[in-house]
Amino acid sequence: MHSCERVSACPMFPLFSRKATLGVWKTLYCESNYENCERLKLFHAHQPAPPNLLPNGRLLTIPPEDEHSS
C-alpha cells in the first residue's frame, strides 16, 4: 500500500493538538484513500488550499485567538 506523497509535509497536521485525531485523518486519507484528499487535489491543480481545509473537503472551524491571553 502506498502513502500520499505529501504526508510528511502536509500543512494540515499542526492544526490538530490531539495526535489521535490526526491519526484518524492520516489513516483515512494519507495512508489509504489519498487520491480522494481535497488538499492533494488542489496541490496537483497548482491551487492553494485553505489552511483549515480537511481532506474530505470540509473546513475545520478554528476558534479565534483570545485577545486577552499573553
pTM: 0.74
Cell of 35: 487520491
Q: Span 44-70, mean pLDDT?
A: 80
Looking at residue 6, its pLDDT comes to 87
Say whether 33 sits in a helix, a strand or coil: coil
pLDDT surpasses 80 at 65: no
Categorize the per-residue pLDDT at 49 as very low, low, confident or very high, splitting at 50, 70 and 90.
very high
Domain annotation covers residue 31: yes
Kindly report, residue by residue over 13-45, the tens digit of the pLDDT.
777 767 787 888 888 888 888 999 999 999 999
**What is the tally of structural domains in the chain?**
1
Say whether 48 sits in a helix, a strand or coil: coil
Q: Where are the beta strands (DSSP E) in the chain?
A: none
Which residues constitute the domain of residue 35?
1-8+20-52
Domain annotation covers residue 24: yes
